[in-house]
Amino acid sequence: MKAIPPTTATWMLKHLASAEGNEELEGDLLEEFQRRRSASWYWRQVLLAILAFPNASRIAWLTFWAAIFAAVWVSGLHTISSLMAHFRFQAAFGNWLDRESYGKTIWVAEGIAFYLAGPVTVYLALARNLSLRSLAVGVGVGVLTIFLFPLVQPHLYTPLSYFFAYALAKHWNVTLWLRWYDILQGSQAPVGIIPLLVAMCAASLCRTRSPKLDPKESPSDESKPAASLQENSTGA
Amino acid sequence: MGKGENLGEFELTVILALLRLGEEAYGVPIAREIEASANREVGIASVYAALERLERKGFVASRRGEPTPERGGRAKRFFRVTALGLRRVRKTQRTLIRLWQGLRQLEGGEA
């Protein structure tokens, strides 16, 4: 009976490996899979094929959606962990973050670094150009969007508006209100993907295109079938 | 000789496997031939990547075969070594033999 290779792996091979020459490779993998009947072997071969012949545009799309998912997910986690850390700090050190100026500085720096890390990483991944210049452009895009977006919509963006609201809450000493604001921040955390999207647009505009392969050489006398290696090897 | 005309270790292995297989060489038998000689698993995609590099250098040429039902209707791509490729292999062989000769460290037993 004919064995069927893992369908997910076959889907990945079809969609994530380059279309050029894919048919022969798919056929070879299917033929060899019928002999070996090993799913792990098939998976290894497919992953190697994606690495050797990546379909750049489809992988970029996959990265795009993975980055959005990661941004939403990590922003949520960040907010939750920040809240937990905040209340834990309050319990342990008696409102350490409020009292000590460096505590607030650390929090602000951590927030900005967190939101900057996403766009810069995605920009570098999509630009596929890990140079000092592209890093500088990525940081520039991240910084600009982080500082320009609150001007447009100040209450939607997390790190800056958070401290504005936090200062108000502290001034009024309304702990309960602060707690509600924290919950609200959790729901607004996905707004952090906006600098990410801007960085992605910048990346797609600045992307360095890989040079096209040389057109196939015209057949010449050099491409005639080779004779035996033995005929001239005696001179070695 | 330009840098791009050199043969890497894996490229040399692939081209030697092609020479051993003759005219009807495609991905699967080439990979099997290398696996049998090197006694390790070889990625078929790595074989194709090496073959594409060799084709760009003009050392191998390829043609597409007919689609077959046992391969899910997919065609084979047959490769052969060109005269230029054969000359390069001979040159590499001569260079390696000259380098090997007189090396006491490589004489008798395993290293």
Residues of chain A whose beta carbon is less than 8 angstroms from a beta carbon of chain B are 17, 21, 23-32, 34, 41, 44-45, 48-49, 51-53, 213-214, 217, 219, 221-227, 229, 232-233, 235-236
Q: Say whether B82 and A226 touch across the interface (CB within 8 A).
A: yes
CA distances from A123 to A64, A128, A203, B48 (A): 10, 8, 5, 31
Which has more confidence, B97 or A122?
A: B97
Q: Using the predicted structure, report yes or no on whether residue B7 has a pLDDT greater than 80.
A: yes
Of A31, A53, A219, the CB nearest to B28: A31
Predicted pLDDT at A194: 59
> Which tokens sit at A83?
């809240």
Residues of B in Cβ contact (< 8 Å) with A20: none
Predicted pLDDT at A174: 42
Q: What is the DSSP letter of A156?
A: T
Q: Using the predicted structure, report yes or no on whether residue B12 has a pLDDT greater than 90.
A: yes
Looking at this protein, which amino acid is placed at residue A103? G
Predicted pLDDT at A23: 84
> Which tokens sit at A79?
């907010």
Nearest residue of A to residue B21, measured between CA atoms? A228
**Averaged pLDDT in 10-residue chunks for chain A of 236 residues:** 81 80 87 86 91 74 64 57 54 52 62 63 58 65 62 46 52 45 48 59 54 38 43 40
* Nearest in space to B16 (alpha carbons), one of B32, B41, B33: B33
Predicted pLDDT at B80: 94
DSSP string covering A94-147, please?
SSHHHH-HHHHHHHHHHHHHHHHHHHHHHHHHHHT--SHHHHHHHHHHHHHHHH
pLDDT tens per residue, range B19-64: 999 888 999 999 999 999 988 899 999 999 999 999 999 999 999 9
Distance CA A84, CA A86 (A): 5
pTM above threshold 0.90: no
Residues of B in Cβ contact (< 8 Å) with A34: 70
DSSP string covering chain B, please?
--GGGS--HHHHHHHHHHHHHTTSB-HHHHHHHHHHHH-S---HHHHHHHHHHHHHHTSEEEEE---BGGGTTBPPEEEEEBHHHHHHHHHHHHHHHHHHTT-GGGSSS--
Beta strands in A135-229 (DSSP E): none
Banded model confidence at residue B10, pLDDT cuts 50, 70, 90:
very high
pLDDT mean across residues, chain B: 88
Which has more confidence, B98 or A137?
A: B98
Q: Using the predicted structure, report yes or no on whether residue B11 has a pLDDT greater than 90.
A: yes
* Nearest in space to A120 (alpha carbons), one of A67, A81, A158: A67
Distance CA A199, CA A145 (A): 8
What is the share, in percent, of chain B residues with pLDDT greater than 90?
A: 61
Check if the beta carbon of residue A178 is closer than 8 Å to that of residue A98. Answer: no
